[in-house]
Structure 1
Amino acid sequence: MLTRLTDADVQQSRQSLSDHLSQWLGWTDAIALSAALNTSPPVIAPGARMFSSAEERECARVRNTLADAIASDTAATAAKRIAPGQAPVKKPAALAEADADYSNFRQRYLSLQHTMETSIGNLRSRLRGMVAAKNGEMTRLAVVDAIMDRALLPKERALLGAIPKLLQAHFERLRKAEEAALAQAAADAEAQPADAESAVDAEEPAGADAAAQAAAPAVGITPGAWLDTFRADMRSVLLAELDVRLQPVEGLLATLRAS
């Protein structure tokens, strides 16, 4: 999706998952993983909360809440704020389109990322505790998940944190494309009266047809449509990121259902 929106030429990686992990994990992480896989799992104190349909509902609630936050936030107008006492010199609709400031979108994207990381992280920790309470092998799996979570979090933040910068280029490209289209439409509209008059003056059989074609209105371009397009694209990227962030949670859920 990001490749399509940013026109980036990204080649598909030929490295395996294990090769990627070897680059992302430090030597301390490797030692911790080795210990978790080759030693007896820790003993979990009795009384841990067991998995039930309540956790299924909680996972669905977290997903829906985050998806709703993304939908409502990206639908809001992100125009430059007007200082107190300063009267706008444009109509509100024109102001939202012409003065759209990407810094507002970037701030909201980062805020939503923080909300996703916090909410999903808490949910993942909760499910991990339930996995650990099952039995020895499940406890080992929970320990591995905790190590991977801690080890990969910095890389995850770096990769996902680069998305707002990529979207900024898409934002500017959409704005400039509409500006160019509107300028071309205005130039064509100015040229139409002269073309129509020339066609009428020319005493040729095709003169009337040429005049009609010249006088025909150009295909309408709605000012500000680029901003709606960008909001929709930003929403799609955020929802895709939400799905990626929820993958470890889905894995823990599948483990709990099968156990």
Structure 2
Amino acid sequence: MVQVSRRPGVTGSALILLLARLTDHGAPEPKQAFAERLSQWLRWTDAISLSSALNSPPATAPSRALASASAEERECARVRTALTKAITEGTAFSVDDFAPYRQRYIARQQAMEAGIGPLRGRLRAVLAGRSPAMARLASVDAVMEQALDPQEQRLLATVPAVLEKYFKRLKQAHSGAQGQMPDGPDAPDAPDNAGKPVSSPGQVQPAAWLEAFGKDMQGVLLAELDIRFQPVEGLLEALRMK
């Protein structure tokens, strides 16, 4: 029977740890047993499909040339690199309104779905041509995707709302700090003769909180990319097996 290494699920991921920090709720609650969490996500019709995929006789591998694992690895690397580049380039905006950030986050989520979904299907097709055991693994993955993907999408769709609350807290904290800045002789120094502002030690520049938020949002997106790519990495690991 084909086995692949188990990877941490959503509840044990960097994404949850990041969101716990940004929402100021501390560490996440202890994880439920995997089987218990899975049973809450699977409908009885999904369970029947999964059982059929596990217990049905393995399909006969098609008589065609086997695809190269290295070719699939290159394609996976290409897709992931492109998605990572889209996330890390131009995250910050110069406005203190969350709307552009929400639009950007949702656009990146849609790009992940558009890039990773077909890649996962492609890997299943290659596995199905490798051996009967690999074909069974591909069938199980297809059932799991159909059953669990809607639940995952609903959870990930709530991330922008979490980020918006964090954005508003940072904005409010910045506004409060600006309101407490001293006037008169204790105010920050005026620009020097070179036209460059002279800041006192520890003084926070107006755009610093926006820059910090942009970096945090980027980290959350990268953590979400890790989660979405886990099934692809599992299939790719199976493909590497001889």
TM-score range, shorter chain: 0.7 to 0.9
Tell me: CA distance 1:105–1:235, structure 2 relative to 1, closer, same or farther (3 Å).
Answer: same
Which of the pair is proportionally richer in helix?
A: 1
Cα RMSD (Å): 2.0
Q: Distance in 2 between matches of 1:48 and 1:173?
A: 57
168, 179, 186: which one aligns with 1:192:
186
Contact residue 61 and residue 130 of structure 2 kept, 8 A: no
TM-score by length of 1: 0.77
Q: Distance in 1 between matches of 2:241 and 2:51?
A: 26
TM-score by length of 2: 0.82
Q: Distance in 1 between matches of 2:104 and 2:179?
A: 31
What amino acid is the match of 1:164? P
Shift of 1:52: 3.0
What amino acid is the match of 1:148? M
Q: Distance in 2 between matches of 1:240 and 1:14?
A: 18
Shift of 1:14: 4.2
Shift of 1:27: 0.5
Tell me: CA distance 1:11–1:4, structure 2 relative to 1, closer, same or farther (3 Å).
Answer: closer
Per-residue CA deviations over 1:169-191 (Å, capped at 9, x if unaligned) read 01111111111111112xx2337
User: Is 1:45 aligned with 2:30?
Assistant: no
Shift of 1:104: 1.4
231, 234, 238: which one aligns with 1:251:
234
Number of aligned positions between the proteins = 214
Contact residue 189 and residue 218 of structure 1 kept, 8 A: no
SS of equivalent residue, structure 1 residue 173: helix
217, 225, 228: which one aligns with 1:242:
225
Q: How does 1:217-236 map to 2 (within 5 A)?
A: 219-236=202-219
Contact residue 46 and residue 143 of structure 2 kept, 8 A: yes
Per-residue CA deviations over 1:3-26 (Å, capped at 9, x if unaligned) read 001112564234211111111000
Shift of 1:58: 1.1
Instruction: Quote the residue 1:162 is aligned against.
Output: 158
Give the number of the structure whose alpha-carbon radius of gyration is greater: 1
What amino acid is the match of 1:140? R
Shift of 1:220: 2.1
Tell me: CA distance 1:51–1:218, structure 2 relative to 1, closer, same or farther (3 Å).
Answer: closer
Q: How does 1:197-208 map to 2 (within 5 A)?
A: none
Q: How does 1:1-259 map to 2 (within 5 A)?
A: 1-8=18-25, 11-47=28-64, 50-75=67-92, 77=93, 96-97=94-95, 100-185=96-181, 188-190=182-184, 192=186, 219-259=202-242
Tell me: CA distance 1:11–1:72, structure 2 relative to 1, closer, same or farther (3 Å).
Answer: closer
Contact residue 69 and residue 240 of structure 2 kept, 8 A: no
Contact residue 120 and residue 232 of structure 2 kept, 8 A: yes
Tell me: CA distance 1:14–1:230, structure 2 relative to 1, closer, same or farther (3 Å).
Answer: closer
By relative contact order (CA 8 Å, sep 6+), the higher-ranking structure is 2
Could you tell me which runs of 5 or more consecutive residues in structure 1 were left unpaired when the two chains were aligned: 78-95, 194-215
Which 4+ runs in 1 deviate beyond 6 A? Answer: none
Q: Distance in 2 between matches of 1:69 and 1:234?
A: 13
